[in-house]
Amino acid sequence: MTPNSSAVCDFIKTLYPNEAFIALHEPRFWGNEKKYLNECIDSTFVSSVGKFVDRFERDFAAYVGSKYAVATVNGTAALHISLLLAGVERGDEVITQALSFVATANAISYCGAKPIFLDVSLQTYGLDSHAIKEFLEQNCEVRDGLCYNKQTNKVVRACVPMHTFGHPCEIDAIKELCDIWHVNLVEDGAESLGSYYKGRHTGTFGKLGAFSFNGNKIITSGGGGVIVTDDEELAKRAKHLTTTAKIPHSYEYVHDAVAYNYRLPNLNAALLCAQLEQLEVFLEAKRALACEYEDYFAACEDIRFLKEPPHAKSNYWLNAIAFKSKEARDAFLEYSNANGVMSRPIWRLLSELDIYGDCQNDSLQNSRLLADSVVNIPSSVPPR
Ligand SMILES: *Cc1c(COP(=O)(O)O)cnc(C)c1O
C-alpha cells in the first residue's frame, strides 16, 4: 500500500515535532560556535590569516585521511582550483554528470573547458562507470599519453564525479577507467563529508577533491569550501592560487600569476572548527533519521527510498524518494510545500539548461527518469 501525500507529511511531522515549518536542511549550532567566533573577534584576526584557518585545515585533512587540505571561500572555488591544478585548460573537455548542481559544470567553464554530460547510476545517483566506459570506447582514443575526443579532437582532461546527496558513487571503477584512459580524476565531494566508499573517505580517491560548507551542507561556515590532496606540490599551489599568488614577503607585494582571492576568512573558519567537532553527532542523528524513513517507505509500493549503495557508508545528507510517475511526484511537491513540509525536486539536468545546451551528452536515460521522479525530503538533524 502507498500512503497519500498527507499521510507522508504527517509522518514527517512526527520526526520534527513542534516545528511550524519543516525546512529541507537547517544548520545546527550546538557546540563551540559562539565561543570560537568571540575568540576570533577578540583577536582581531577575522580575515585572511588566523589560527582557525590553520587549525581547520589540519583537522579536516586528518578527518578525511588526506595529507593536505586548503580552505577556500566556497565549494565552487575549491572545484575551480582543483580543476586548474588537474591541468584543465581552455579548449579542454571534462566528463561529468548531467544530474548535479550547476556549480559542478560552472567550475569546468571557469577553466575555459566544456563539460561532457554522462548518465548516472540508478543505485547511486552518481556518475555511472558503465556510461563512462561506453563513452570513452565509442568516442575517444589515447594519443601521446592524452585522451582525445575523436569527434571534436579536443583533450578530455578530467572527469568529475559527484557523490549525490552524500551517497558514494562507484568511485573505484571510475578511478580505474580514468587511469586506463589518462583522464585526471577530480571528485566533487561537496555533498559527501562523512561518506565512505569501501572504508575510504570520498573525495580522497582522485588527484584532488573539493568539499562545500554552504549553509545547507552537513556542516557550514556560512560559506566555505576546501580542497584535499595527497600531493604536497599541488597543495602548495592550491594555497598560492587561492591567495592571489603573492610571494611571501613581510612588506612587498609581488605576485607571480594572475590568481584568485579565494581564501576562507578566519571568521568563517572559526565557525567551521566548531562545526567539525560536531560532525560525528550529526552523522549519527542523520543515519537514525534515514533509518526511520527507510522503515516507513519500505511498506510503500509506489515510493522508493534511496538507500546507501553497496560497499558504501553514506552521510545521508539529503534524503531522497522516487515516485513511480511525474504526476505523483508533482502532487507530492504541491501538497507538502503547501502544508509546512519543504520538499524539492532534483535539479533540472545541466544538459537542459540553455547555458549548457550545446554540450555533448549520452542518452542520459537514468538521469531523465530521476529528474522527473525524485524528491528530497526534510533531512536536518532533528532538534533535541
Ligand atoms: C553545494 C555544492 C557545490 C558547491 O557549492 P558552494 O555553494 O560554492 O559552496 C558544488 N557541487 C555540488 C554538487 C554542490 O551540492
Distance CA 303, CA 323 (A): 5
Residue reference for cell 580552505? 71
Burial of 171 (0-12, 13-18, 19+ CB in 10 A): buried
Domain membership of residue 384 (yes or no) is: no
67 C-alpha vs ligand 1 centroid, how far in Å?
Answer: 23
Q: Supply φ then ψ for residue 119, to 5 degrees.
A: -80, 160
Same domain, 16 and 116: no
Domain-ending residue, one of 277, 306, 324: 277
Residues 6+ apart with CB under 8 A from 163: 126, 169, 171, 187, 188, 189, 191, 192, 195, 202, 203
Domain membership of residue 293 (yes or no) is: yes
Report the side by side order of strands in the sheet with 319-323.
Answer: 303-305, 319-323, 374-377, 344-345
Domain membership of residue 382 (yes or no) is: no
pLDDT in tens, the chain (384 residues): 567 999 999 999 999 998 999 999 999 999 999 999 999 999 999 998 889 999 999 999 999 999 999 999 999 999 999 999 999 999 999 999 999 999 999 999 999 999 999 999 999 999 999 999 999 999 999 999 999 999 999 999 999 999 999 999 999 999 999 999 999 999 999 999 999 999 999 999 999 999 999 999 999 999 999 999 999 999 999 999 999 999 999 999 999 999 999 999 999 999 999 999 999 999 999 999 999 999 999 999 999 999 999 999 999 999 999 999 999 999 999 999 999 999 999 999 999 999 999 999 999 999 999 999 999 999 999 998
Residue reference for cell 563513452? 135
Same domain, 146 and 259: yes
Domain-ending residue, one of 277, 301, 323: 277
C-alpha cell recorded at residue 137: 570506447
Same domain, 144 and 168: yes
Same domain, 226 and 283: no
Same domain, 87 and 210: yes
Judge if the beta carbon of residue 309 lies within 6 A of ligand 1. no
CATH number of the structural domain spanning residue 288? 3.90.1150.10
Same domain, 71 and 178: yes
The span from the first CA to the last CA of the chain, in angstroms, equals 32
Q: Supply φ then ψ for residue 161, to 5 degrees.
A: -75, 155
Distance CA 214, CA 380 (A): 14
Same domain, 125 and 225: yes
pTM over 0.85: yes
Domain membership of residue 321 (yes or no) is: yes
C-alpha cell recorded at residue 313: 557508508
Mutate which of 125, 162, 212 to test ligand 1's pocket (most atoms within 8 Å of Cβ)? 212
Contact 197, 205 (CB under 8 A): yes
Same domain, 197 and 137: yes
Judge if the beta carbon of residue 76 lies within 6 A of ligand 1. yes
Domain that holds residue 72: 33-277
- The total domain count for the chain is 2
Same domain, 289 and 163: no
Cβ atoms within 10 Å, residue 186: 30
